[in-house]
Structure formats: structure tokens, C-alpha cells
Amino acid sequence: MAYVHGTSFPVTAINLAALACSRQAIRTNSRTRSFMASKKSDETLIVDSEQADAEDNGSSAGTGLIVPEQSLPGKLLLLPIFERPFFPAQVQPLVIDESPWEETFARLAKMDHHLLGLCYAGDQDEHASASPEDFADTGCVVRLHNVVRGNGKIQFIAQGMQRFRIDGWLSRTAPFAAEVSYPNERSKNTPEIKAYAMALIQAIKELIPLNPLYNEELKNFLNHFNLNDPSPLADFAAAITTAPGPELQQILDTVSLQKRMERVLILLHKELEVARLQAEIRSEVEQKMSKHQREFFLREELKVIQRELGIAKDDRTSDIDEFRERMEKRTPPEHVKKRFDEEINKMSILETGSPEYGVTRNYLDWLSAVPWGNYSRDKLSLRHAKTVLNRDHAGLEDIKERILEFLAMGSFRGEISGSILLFVGPPGVGKTSIGKSIAECLGRKFYRFSVGGMRDEAEIKGHRRTYIGAMPGKLVQALKDVDVSNPVIMLDEIDKMGSSHQGDPASAMLEVLDPEQNSEFLDHYLDLRVDLSKVLFVCTANQLDTIPRPLLDRMDVIRLGGYIASEKLEIARKHLWPRLLERNNVKSSQVKISDSAIKALIEGYAREAGVRSLEKLLHRVLRKSVVKLLGKSKTVSISNRNLVEFVGEPPFRVEKQLGGVGVITGLAWTSMGGATLPIEATSVHEGERGLKLTGQLGKVMNESAQIAHSYVTTNADRYGVGKDWFMRHSLHLHVPEGATPKDGPSAGISITSALLSLALNKPVRKSFAMTGEITLTGEVLPVGGIREKLIAARRIGVKQIILPAGNRRDVSELPEHIVTGLDIRHAGHYDEVFEILFQAKRTARQ
């Protein structure tokens, strides 16, 4: 494309006659009429025919042979051209805006020669204003033909004549004018120039079959080309390339013919490479398209031939046969058989292109994929189950025993059904892996999906068939995937289900998890009753508070309290570390970790109830060890002496039990397991009764502190405190680690003991930790999380524990290794707690 200031007009044809005469003598065999625009004319101004006759008789456009340099003027009006320079070998129509160049064309109309200079002004916007600094030093003088003005545009055909150089400016604003000179382009016809000319012709001939855009014009030009004057050939070859404007301007600036031909030859070779690449891409695309079309026609012909011979079926018959074959492998109930036959009959009369056909086909696909009546055989061997549980899990002896009891009941009854298990515990204690182990114990297939964050009941019960993209619920999809009707299905994170305008999934679960109802579970998509009574459902949750009570009543709750340090050590040695080595293809002889290092990791880095953080730390140790193995080390050993090099300094300090007057150690339960809860009390000033609470205490814990304060104030005499001591002192109660929110009633007796220790000015008798709720009458009520609290007490080395009397049953159900070595005292009233802590007899109850 070539652009003049204004509107661009693409090169669409090359005037052969102009190309033949651009550098040679100009012959005119008939009268030439030029049309130039002027301000006075509406559309075109016809040059007087008498002037044209005069030009025929001796001017620059006459019939005689004129030397071009002698007929070209020394002063020219100039016009900027953008994106590509204009070459002497070009003939091209151009369109420009009338308004900025109207004066230029008005002056040009008054001149006899009708010649205009076109100069390349850079790759600017076509509407940009050019200045003399933008003009290239070398331009092309062109003769204008068929000048037409209209609609604010000026259109003309420019015939390139010869190069010119700008020697000086006569007008530096529009209309631009300059004094010009015409360099001598003639050169001796040396053998080198002839060789370059032949090379250019050969390159152009190679370009013709690759780029058909200039096919005819190239052939005509080469047929009329004079080998003795190769200068137009070089300019013409440069003009037909797609090179950028600055490179083409270098060609125009080059007067030396040999150097110009060298540069043009390089451009042509680049053009040839691009054209060849385009041809290869076009050929490859055409081959692929023709291959696909050929395969399509052959397949269609094959279908017709097979149909005519009766050896092939159409798509509908093939689908129906496939669905019937699937159902023959099932043992569906009668209502399912009846619906299947109805849908098959409907499908057989529907047009394959109708929307109803696609809906019916998808429905039959799902209906025949459900494993109606297909059951796997259970392995009811308690010895096998015990082996699998011990192999996959270290510790959790009470949980294993509970699972074996469940399996024993199924073995005695002859089938496993009727009970829904719910494993509740902090993250990382192995709830999901226990579900997998149960499936392996029974020899059943296992399917797990998380219901956490689920807000659409259609995920459980399916969509109606009327909806676009309708599908069955997750339970039917699970049965399809496992291809049996009695798998183990794990519903993970059941405590995190939500509800929205799309329904309440927790309520939809009531039918699924009720043994009395799930034998006739209704999926909305299938619109048929599905028997889920043989499915063993295993659910997991971190807490019970968010599970609806009706749903919780349908499940058998099994609590996983977490692991003590010795259990974590065994899990790391037997399970976590070997599994990490196997996953990362590391030999046990290459990286070794000592028990002391693992114990240091447990105590200083991973104190949560589960083992997930411990596994991450071991993985971190292994990564750094592999880096050393790739270096100079052949083996890496990790002990507690060099553990800091692998995991840094421990984030947890060694917990010490706080002591002194007014300081009591309580026990608390958190979602991450048990924790110790030091409580401090002090007297701020005397004069009036008051109680200030800090430590980010929740509403329930605030109420426990108020109850404890009221109780000790009312019963101060019974515990040897002055009658008005609490009435005269303003007290401050603080629970350290104030950045951590704390709540719950378990700190009742701990707060009471801290206030009495302050009032009596006596520390507790021994190192004690306690938990329990207190009432205004001094009764000690039972609390939850006993297992986790005892594990927390063992972690800091506390051996003497005070628990509510109502928690005796919880202690008796704990494993032996948790309670061994602990001195556990039970109290039903605070008087008993007072006697244990201060070894003092209280006054008789009022």
C-alpha cells in the first residue's frame, strides 16, 4: 500500500505502458487530455485542448523522443507520502483530502508540466501534519493523470518518472515547494550489473507462482523489460515487496545502480522466504481439509453401503441396543423395568434431531448406568479388619475397637447396614483415612465427596429433567462410578454444609442418612426410588455445633481426640516418613532421621492434635536433604542437634506452668485439640467492689467469671476470707495470650480458685490443672473434651488433675496410655476442690 496525506488507496494495477516509458523515451500516439482540479470548478477542470495540441507539437509529452532529465523542471511542488515511498517504476491511483492540499493543486493546474514531487514523510498517521523536517531528501517526481475532485477528496493517477533530490526549500508550509536536482542514474552495462539483473529477474519469476497478486503485471513487465536498462527493474522489484517504509526509502536514496540492485535482491529473497512459508502453510491446511473431507465422504458412503446390505444400524438402533444390553446385566425392580420400557418405546419413535430425543437418550444413559441389584460380597473377617486397621493407623486404639465392634455386629447379622458413622475430631487426626480403611476391611469400593460449602439441595437429590443440563444427584453419580449398590460412601466435612435460596442440603440429607427411609430414596432426575440401605455412609466433621440436630440424631458419633506425643512419634516412623521417601523416590539409606529429631519436631514445631503439620515439616526436612544429596553429600542424617538447619528455630517455647498467688492452670478444648489455660487474678486497689476481665474472653466465659466472683463474695467466710474482703477490693482477672479468643464454661472452678488464692494470699498446694463449670451454689458441673484436655496436661507435665464428678464415665472410657501416670481427682462441689488445693477444711455449709 502507498499512502498520501489524506485517504489511502491500494495498488490495484500496474500500468504497463507507464512502466515501459518511465525511464525511456515517452511516445504519445494520440492526444492526451489532463484533468486538474481548481477552486473555480465544481467537479473537474478540463485543460484546454489547444494547450494539449501544443504539448503534442513539442512539449515534454510530445511524440518525439525527449531526454527525461532535460524535460523535468528544477522547481517542484511537493506532497508528503506515508508508510511507503513512491518509486519511478510505479503507476498508482491516489486519493487525498482536498482541504490541506487545495492550494497545491490550484498552483499545479497553472503549470504546463503537471509534475508533482512525492516525498516519503515517515510512518505517521495519514491525517498527521507533515513538516519539512519529515520529508526524505530523495523523492520521486510523478506525472498526474485523470485528476478528479469531489466529496472533499482529490483522486488522481500518479505515474512515477524519476528520482530527485531536494536542494533547497522555497516554501516550508503548504503548499510545499523546493528546488530539486535529478541525479544521473545511468551506469555502464557491466557484466556485474547484467548478472544482478538476471538474478532479479530469476527472483521475480520465482515469486510469481508463490504470490498470484501481481501475476499478470509481473509477466507483462518481464516481457517488455529491456536488459540494457536495468534501473527500472530494480525500482519495480523494490516496489512490489512488502518491506517497511524505511528500508524502501534506502533503496530510493541509493543512486548507484549496483548497490541498489544488491539491496533490492536482499529484499526479494526475504519476500521469497515469506511467500514460501505462506505457501507451505496454505498447502498443509488444504491437505488437512481435503483429508477430512475425504474421510467424511467415505464414512457416509460406508454407512449407506452397510445400511443397504443390512450389516449396520443407525444411531438410534445402536443406542437402544446398547441400553438394553446394559439393563440385561442388572436386576432392576419392576418399577424400574416399566419406566425403562416406556422410555425405550418413546425413543424409538422420536426423530434423532429433535430436542426430546437428546433428553430421552441422556435419561436412558443414566438409568441403565445405575447398578440396579449389583452388590459386592463383604469380607466379614474381624482378623482381616484388625490387620488392616493396625497397618494403616498407629494409636487410636479406642477408635479401632469401636470400628471392630461395628463390624462384629455386621458379621453376626450377616450384613453391614443400618448404621451411619460420624467421625468428629480436629483436622489431621485421620478421619478420612479411617473411612478408606473401613472400605478395605469390608472389601467394598470406596467413594468420597466433600459436602463442605454445598448450598444446593439438587447436588443431593438431583435436578428435574425439565432443566437444561439436568443431572442426577451426587449419590446416583457415586453408584454409577463404583458400579455396585453397596459401596462405602464418605461424606466429608458434613458440618460445613450451608443453605441458600436454592434449598437446604442438610435437610435433603435427612432422607439419605435415615436407615428407615433411605431404602426408598427418590432422585428427582431419575424420578425413581433408589435403594441406599446397603450403602455404608461414613461422615466426617470437625465439630458438632453446626450440624442440625435432626441430622445428628441419625448418626453414630465417634470422637477422635487427637494423638499424644508417643503416638505421633510412632505414626511418623511407621507411616509418614516411609511414605514421603517412597513418593519422592529417595532411599532410606540416603536420608536418615533419628527418633530424637522427630520428637523435637513434635514438641517444638507441631503441637496440634493431628499429624498434618508434622507431615509438612518432615517433607520440608526431606526437601532440604535432597538439595544436599544433589551437592557433594552422599548421605544425610538428621538429629536434634542439626534439626535447626532444616526447619529453623522452633515456634513453640517449652510450656511452663505458671505459679504463685492468684494463678491457676485451667484446661480448655479447642477445635485444634486441648490446651492449657493459665488464669491470673490480682487486686488493683481497695475501696470498692469491682471485677475487670481481659484476655479476649467470650460471652460464656465472661458469665463464668461473674458467677465465680458472686460465689466467692457470698461464701467468703466459709473459706477463711474476711466478710468484706471482696466488697472492698477491685479485682482484675486476666487470661494470657489475649490475641486468642477464648470462650466456654470449663474455666468456672479455675477462676473461682484464682480469686480465693488471691484473697487468702496462698498459692495452690501442688502443681494442679483443672476444668469444670461452677454454679452460684457451688456445684461443679461436667464439661466436654476430657480426652483433649488430659493430653494437653500431659504435654506440659502436669500430673494432678481435678475434674467434675460427672466426668467419671468419660475417664473410664479413655485408653490406658492416656490416663496412666495421672492423679485424677473428681469433685461434685467446690468445697472438694478447695480441700484438694489448699488442704483446708471449709466451714459447714450454710
Q: Which residues are the active-site residues?
A: 746, 789
Rounded CA separation 594/620 (Å):
15
Is 513 within 8 Å of 565 (Cβ atoms)? Answer: no
Pairing of β 673-686 and β 729-734: antiparallel
Instruction: Please enumerate in sequence order all residues whose Cβ is within 8 A of that of 304, keeping only pairs 6 or more positions apart, or say none.
Output: none
Per-residue CA distances from 593 to 390, 596, 620, 796 (Å): 23, 8, 13, 25
Bridge partners of residue 680, in order along the sequence = 663, 734
The grid coordinates listed for 289 are 481439509
Q: Is 483 left (phi over 0), alpha (psi -120 to 50) or beta?
A: left
DSSP 742: B
> Measured between alpha carbons, how far is 528 from 332 in angstroms, rounded to an integer?
11
User: Measured between alpha carbons, how far is 25 from 65 in angstroms, rounded to an integer?
Assistant: 5
Q: Are 830 and 780 in contact (CB under 8 A)?
A: yes
Residue 690 CB neighbours (<10 A): 13
Q: In angstroms, rounded to a whole number, what is the distance separating the alpha carbons of residues 830 and 95?
A: 105
Q: What is the DSSP letter of 572?
A: I
Environment class of 189 (CB within 10 Å of its CB; exposed 0-12, middle 13-18, buried 19+): middle
Is 601 within 8 Å of 618 (Cβ atoms)?
yes
Alpha helices in 211-354 (DSSP H): 215-224, 231-239, 245-253, 257-309, 315-328, 334-349
Compute and round to an integer the Cα radius of gyration of the chain.
49
**How many angstroms separate the CA atoms of 560 and 399, rounded?**
7
Residues 523, 473: contact at Cβ < 8 Å?
Answer: yes
Whole-angstrom distance, CA of residue 100 vs CA of residue 85: 20
Alpha helices, H only, 240-256:
245-253
Exposure of 320 in the CB half-sphere (CA atoms within 13 A): 17
Backbone angles phi, psi at 170, to 5 degrees: -95, -30
Q: Tell me how far apart the alpha carbons of residues 527 and 465 are, in angstroms, rounded to a whole number.
A: 9
Peptide bond into 427 cis (omega under 30): no
> From the centroid of its chain, how far is CA 532?
36
* CB-CB neighbours of 314 under 10 Å: 10
Contact yes or no for 834/842 (Cβ under 8 A): yes
Q: Which three cell numbers stand for residue 377?
A: 460380597
Cβ neighbours of residue 596 closer than 8 Å, sequence gap 6 or more: 639, 640
In angstroms, rounded to a whole number, what is the distance separating the alpha carbons of residues 774 and 666? 13
Q: 3-state class of 540 per DSSP?
A: strand
State how far the alpha carbon of 427 is from the alpha carbons of 417, 423, 542, 602, in Å.
Answer: 28, 11, 7, 16
Task: Give the span between the Cα atoms of 663 and 681, in whole angstroms.
Answer: 6
Cell of 316: 438410534
733 contacts 751 by C-beta, under 8 angstroms:
yes
Q: How many residues does the chain have?
A: 846
d(CA 521, CA 498): 22
Helices (H), 414-513: 431-442, 458-461, 474-482, 505-512
